[in-house]
Amino acid sequence: MKATIQNTEATTWEHKGERIAIWKVTITDDISENTAISTYFIDRKTRGLLRQEIDLGSRTMVMERKD
């Protein structure tokens, strides 16, 4: 499998009522022939994964950290 980083952005995101500095990383892969777009929201301070979005065009799956 080959994954391709499409974009990396340093930004902020609101999580549990507070603004957090994050890396927003957009990736595609060859399994979906680069049509599914995965976006990862990574805390810049702790490097923990806060949220993942998988966009399949007509449908989107979201997984978000709750603690």
Name residue 14's amino acid.
E
**pLDDT surpasses 80 at 62:** yes
Question: HSE (CB half, 13 Å, CA atoms) of 63?
Answer: 7
Q: Within a 10 A sphere around the Cβ of 60, how many other Cβ atoms?
A: 11
CA of residue 54 relative to chain centroid, distance = 8
Identify the pLDDT of residue 15: 82
pLDDT band at 32 (very low <50, low <70, confident <90, very high): confident
Please say if the pLDDT value at position 66 is more than 90: no
What does the pLDDT read at residue 42? Answer: 97
Decide: residue 22, CB within 10 A, 0-12 exposed, 13-18 middle, 19+ buried. Answer: buried
Quick one: pLDDT at residue 31?
A: 87
